[in-house]
Each structure stands twice: as structure tokens, then as C-alpha cells.
Amino acid sequence: MSTIDNQYKKTQNDILARVAKAENLSELNELRIAVLGKNGEFTAILKSLKDVPVEQKAAVGKQVNDIKVAIEESLAIKQKAFEEIELAKRLVEEKIDISIDKPQIGLGALHPINQTKQRISDFFISMGFLVADSPEIETEYYNFEALNTPSDHPARDTQDTFFVGNGILLRSQTSSGQIRLMQSPNIKPPIKLICPGKVYRSDAVDATHSPMFHQMEGLVVDKGITLCDLKGMLDLFAKEFFGVNTKTRFRPSYFPFTEPSVEVDASCFICGGTGIDKNRGDGIDSCSVCKGTGWIEILGAGMVNRKVLVNCGIDPDIYTGFAFGMGLDRITNILHAIKDLRVVFENDIRFLNQFKGVNSI
């Protein structure tokens, strides 16, 4: 082997050894410039080829080129190794640990009264009822007169109704919306509608009363409607909400806008109508929900008064109808065994969180 061959071989081994010793990508790049840069060590060897005798140039040129290829391959392999190490490091440092406990963002949910309203609405919609809305600020005509409530009726006293101005008040019942719909020129019998919403009455605030509460009233007007139709529908309603074994009971009552009028009770779903609850755990057998009677009052109803139909331009000799109304707050309290109406309106997060994800009551 010639002196030139030995010199090139020594240079190659020295450079490859330095490449192997590089500890990071930065050192490797500095070595690349030192060896292959414009003024690099190996670049100087390439420049010196002009001084090689003519008869040796081909062999020496091939040897130098092979050394250059070996150096470049060694640099590339080392660079790839460093890049893989750097990538692995970044993947570890930048990864998101989805298993770690993080602060949970509180998600909202329907208020229990709105859950009850939605479920009851869905029930009646499935039976072909339309959902109607109406103003909360109402006139005496729609709230009282058209509903056969004369001016001397106790409900029209200032102590029972919130009057806003002359003849203007906060509606005390959503029945006013039924009048508006029946008087609409676009609405003709047969009519099936429910009117949910807020109503206002001048009541003291206690465990069972509030000056603002929620109602849902329903109306059906058609030919041949009887009290039997009302009873059958409300019986289905009670079974849907309180259990398939629930029974209903009609008690005579009085409302100016229905005749005859009834109060509707459902057999207690806690004690099964026996009035005895042996699971109370306080030594008292009397059912706390129905107070030992076996029955729970759920709503008022009746056949639409002929005068109301006349006021709405509907011939009572051709059409009859029934109406019903319930307090959504009361139904909610019964379903969830809430004893104090006030807690539903206090917006206590601890209380409301209990109703998250409650799809069926």
C-alpha cells in the first residue's frame, strides 16, 4: 500500500471515530462543517488531488471519493439516530396523559321542574296535543271574563291577583292561552292543546305555596266529547307517571270554566294506596307522601262550561270538550318526594346536581 493510501485510510478512520464520539446533533453538525465544509479537512484533501501524479489520479480519485461516501453515510446514520432520540424525547415531554385527574368542567342540566314539564309535554304530544304559548302579562278579559269568572268572583280581588294596571294583570292561570287559541280565526274544532307556563298569584311563600309557580293546562274540544273521555285520558296519564297499577279517583268540585268539575286523585305510588309505608324507618307506619289516606291529589278538571264555548264562538250544541290543569311544581315534588317547594327555587347546586342525567322520573 502506498504512502498516499495509508494517509487517506488514516484520515478516514480518524474522521469516522470522531463521528462515533459525537454526543448530540449539535456536535455532529459542527463536525460535518469541520470535515466537509468549505475549509474542512476533507475538502482540503479534495483540493490536493491536483498535485497527484497523472498516472495515479484515477486510482487516488476513486479512493478519495469512496472515503467521502463512507464519511457522509456515517454522518447520515448518526444524524438519524440523534433525530430519533430527539423525537422520542419530545413525544415523552409533550404527550397528554388522558388518564390523569383534571378539574372537571361543570355541565348544566334541566331544572327538575323543566324535566317534569318536558316529560308531561311529551306524553300529551304523543296523544296528538299541540303545545301553545301565551303572554304572562294578560288582560282581565282573557284571564277571567272569557273563562266565565264574573267581576265579583273572589279570584279577581287584589289580594289574590297581581294587577299591573287598569285591566292588566299577571296571568293567574294558563287557561287564558286556551281562550286566545279558541278565538283565533285559524283554529277550529277539533282542538287538542296544552298550555304550559308560569302563573302568578298573591300567595305567601311557604313549603307548599309560592307567588310564582308553573302550570300545565289542557283542552280538548270536539263532537261527542264526554266525561268518560276525560277519565280515560287522565287514567292513562296517572299510570304513565305513577306506575301501571295506579288508580284514579274523581271528586266533585267547582271551577267557573268547567261544569261539571272534578278534583282528580291518584292512588299513592309509595304505599300502593294502602296509606301504610313500613319502609319509613322512623317507627311510624303512616305514609308520609299521602299522609295515610292512600290518595294524592294531582289536578283539577271538568267539562268545558257552555258559556266558555259561546265566548269563543263555538256552538255548545254541536261541540263539547274537557279541560284539565295541574301544577308542575306539585307533580315534581310528588315524583321526587320533595317536601318543601322552596328548595326547588333556591338554586342550591347541591340540590340541583341530584337531577343531572335524570331522563326518566
Domain range summary for the chain, segments of one domain joined by +: 3-94, 113-355
Task: Dump pLDDT digits (tens) for 168-178.
Answer: 999 999 999 99
113-355: which CATH architecture?
Answer: 2-Layer Sandwich (3.30)
Alpha helix positions (H), 147-298: 175-183, 227-242
34 vs 189 pLDDT, higher one: 189
Task: Dump pLDDT digits (tens) for 59-76.
Answer: 777 777 787 788 788 888
Q: Is 302 left (phi over 0), alpha (psi -120 to 50) or beta?
A: left
Task: Kindly give, in sequence order, each residue whose CB lies less than 8 Å from that of residue 68, ignoring residues fewer than 6 positions away.
Answer: 36, 42, 46
Is 1 a residue whose pLDDT tops 70?
Answer: no
pTM > 0.85: yes or no:
no
Place of cell 326518566: 360
Q: What is the pLDDT of residue 5?
A: 63
Q: What is the secondary structure of 229-241 as a DSSP string? A: HHHHHHHHHHHHH
Angle between helix axes 328-336 and 112-125 (nearest 10 degrees) is: 110
Which contiguous run of DSSP H or E holds residue 330? helix 328-336
Do the beta carbons of residue 60 and residue 49 sit within 8 Å? Answer: yes
**Using DSSP, how many helices (H) and how many strands (E) does the chain show?**
12, 10
Q: What is the pLDDT of residue 15?
A: 78
Running DSSP on this structure, what letter comes out for residue 258? E
Band (360; pLDDT cuts 50, 70, 90): very low
SS3 334: helix
Is 361 a residue whose pLDDT tops 50?
Answer: no
Q: What are phi and psi of 14, to 5 degrees?
A: -65, -45
Do the beta carbons of residue 264 and residue 255 sit within 8 Å? Answer: no
Q: What are phi and psi of 160, to 5 degrees?
A: -110, -20
Running DSSP on this structure, what letter comes out for residue 87? H
SS3 106: coil
Task: Dump pLDDT digits (tens) for 288-336.
Answer: 788 889 999 999 999 999 999 999 999 999 999 999 999 999 999 988 8
Do the beta carbons of residue 78 and residue 28 sit within 8 Å? Answer: yes
Shortest CA distance to 360 belongs to which of 325, 327, 336? 336
Q: What is the secondary structure of 247-314 as a DSSP string? A: -EEEEEEEETTEEEEEEEEEE-TTTTTSSB-TTSSSS--B-TTTTTSSEEEEEEEEEEPHHHHHHTT-
Q: What's the grid cell of residue 63? A: 479512493
Is 350 a residue whose pLDDT tops 80?
Answer: yes
163 vs 55 pLDDT, higher one: 163
Angle between helix axes 25-36 and 41-48 (nearest 10 degrees) is: 20
Helix/strand/coil percentages in the chain, nearest 5: 45, 20, 35
